[in-house]
Amino acid sequence: MAKIVVVGAGIGGISQVYELRKTLGNQHEIVLVGDSDRFEFTPSNPWVAVGWRKEGQVCVELPELMKKHGVEFHNVGAKRLHPEFNKVELGDGTEIEYDYLIIATGPKLAFEEVPGLGPNGGFTQSICKTGHADTSFIDFEKLVADPGPVVVGAAPGASCFGPAYEYIFILDTELKKRKIRDKVPMHFVTPEPYIGHLGLDGVGDTKSLLESEFRNRHIHWTTNARITEVTDGKINFTEVDEDGNDKKTHELEFRHSMILPAFKGVEAIAGIEGLTNPRDFILIDEYQRNPKYNNVYAVGVCVAIPPVSPTPVATGAPKTGYMIESMVTATTHNIKGAIEGKPPSAKGSWAAVCLADFGDTGVAFVALPQIPPRNTNWASQGKWVHVAKIAYEKYFLHKVRAAKTEPYYEKMVLKMVGAERLKDQS
């Protein structure tokens, strides 16, 4: 009997334990290590931040759920991984041995890289965690009571730009509902070289679609922006030219601001030689395995992926939900093969399928594969995206509660747009 430990209870970790249980049956031991008792559906965080969802509506309690499906669950987090000894040291000092380890921790939010950034000791809000989004809603209500300028965007080195776009458009929609949009100047500040780059060098016509949306909503923007400092009510940033040379410095006042940070690997894996790159993301081969420790796999945001192309201000490549599930499926197949003494064969398609909600409309895009050159590269806009995002939220939370992996109707819909979880090996 093999013992498989999954560290991280987000979208990647939860999907991973369910796929492992379905594929391997009950004859192998599966352990999940999270840092709290709940799963958070982070794509709903922009809605939480404006009061469209309550925190509890987008979270699922895990202890009883994991017990029901035969998964041993620990809620104290991982303090340190010891891949040379096949052990995970937990936050309470205990240790778990494993035959196979899957790292799905998500990122460390590197607020400290910009002075004054972040909700804990800083002056900006975040929607990276559901608790952060709940705190951001409190600050949003202060804005409603005393309207003033808003600045939304991303710090240098950021890789997940979609939520920033979602948030500024959802914020615009809610302010219009409250009939105070005319009192709130809005500015979007991003390290991307152009609007709609998304860390992906654009997908389809995202540049034109998102620029048009900004113009229609009277939102100003600055690209190639390197935020250098945030003080109480002010954001300082430098605009650079195409060669990365400083061009102009700016200072924007704000009453409310949400800035996405850059990501790093979490402390539990930091600096482990052969496991991580200089920013502590997990090094993997094409089969999701670490090259040095072949019984260690990684999925999700913690995986090291090089930028799509160099940009004047540093940006990273995002890991979208379907891309993460693609990694999960490949990992499951390869661990099953390893248990059976077979070499790895499954490679994730790494397809980006995204629904970006703008409150009353939205943009959907498909990039297959996520990193160019692509076989499929399109984006589409319309009110249907807003409706589809709501449906997707309900559907995914149902998947978590019901321990489903890839229902037939999900597989059919995604196949229609050419998305498969695994690469065609033919």
| Residue range(s) of every CATH 3.50.50.60 domain in the chain | 111-263
Confidence at residue 307, expressed as pLDDT on a 0 to 100 scale: 82
Best CA proximity match to 298, nearest among 34, 103, 106, 6: 103
* SS3 labels along the chain: CCEEEEECCCHHHHHHHHHHHHHHCCCCEEEEECCCCEEECHHHHHHHCCCCCCHHHHEEECHHHHHHCCCEEECCCEEEEECCCCEEEECCCCEEECCEEEECCCCEECHHHCCCCCCCCCCCECCCCHHHHHHHHHHHHHHHHCCCCEEEEECCCCCCCHHHHHHHHHHHHHHHHCCCHHHCCEEEECCCCCCCCCCCCCCCCHHHHHHHHHHHCCCEEECCEEEEEEECCEEEEEEECCCCCEEEEEEEECCEEEEECCEECCHHHCCCCCCECCCCCECCCCCCECCCCCCEEECHHHECCCCCCCCCCCCCCCCCHHHHHHHHHHHHHHHHHHHCCCCCCCCECCCEEEEEECCCCEEEEEEECCCCCCCEEEEEECHHHHHHHHHHHHHHHHHHHHCCCCCHHHHHHHHHCCCCCECCCC
Residue 384 is encoded by which pair of tokens? 């249907």
Confidence at residue 198, expressed as pLDDT on a 0 to 100 scale: 95
The model carries a pTM of 0.94
Residue 253 is encoded by which pair of tokens? 């006042």
Active-site residue list: 160, 354
Whole-angstrom distance, CA of residue 249 vs CA of residue 278: 29
Q: What is the pLDDT of the chain when averaged over all its residues?
A: 94
Confidence at residue 19, expressed as pLDDT on a 0 to 100 scale: 95
Whole-angstrom distance, CA of residue 362 vs CA of residue 380: 8
Output the CA torsion sign for 194, 200, 203, 206: negative
Confidence at residue 373, expressed as pLDDT on a 0 to 100 scale: 83
Confidence at residue 187, expressed as pLDDT on a 0 to 100 scale: 98
Give the phi and the psi of residue 109 in degrees, each rounded to 5.
-85, 110
| Residue 412 burial (CB count, 10 A) | 9
Confidence at residue 408, expressed as pLDDT on a 0 to 100 scale: 45
Is residue 108 scored above 60 in pLDDT?
Answer: yes
- Is the domain defined by 111-263 classed in CATH 3.50.50.60? yes
| Residue 188 burial (CB count, 10 A) | 24
Cross-strand partners of 39: 60
Is residue 411 scored above 80 in pLDDT?
Answer: no
Best CA proximity match to 11, nearest among 32, 40, 35: 40
| Residue range(s) of every CATH 3.50.50.100 domain in the chain | 3-109+264-346
Confidence at residue 311, expressed as pLDDT on a 0 to 100 scale: 96
Residues 3-109+264-346, CATH architecture: 3-Layer(bba) Sandwich (3.50)
Counting Cα atoms < 13 Å in the Cβ hemisphere of 114 gives 28
Is residue 410 scored above 80 in pLDDT?
Answer: no
For the segment 300-327, what is each residue's pLDDT rounded down to a tens digit? 999 999 888 899 999 999 988 888 989 9
For the segment 17-34, what is each residue's pLDDT rounded down to a tens digit? 999 999 999 999 999 999
For the segment 333-361, what is each residue's pLDDT rounded down to a tens digit? 999 999 999 999 999 888 788 899 999 99
Residue 353 is encoded by which pair of tokens? 């399928």
Q: Quote the longest CA-to-CA distance of the chain.
A: 65
Best CA proximity match to 22, nearest among 358, 404, 317: 404
For the segment 152-202, what is each residue's pLDDT rounded down to a tens digit? 999 999 999 999 999 999 999 999 999 999 999 999 999 999 999 999 999
Question: How much is the average pLDDT of 118-144?
Answer: 98
What is the total residue count of the chain?
426
For the segment 48-92, what is each residue's pLDDT rounded down to a tens digit? 999 999 999 999 999 999 999 999 999 999 999 999 999 999 999
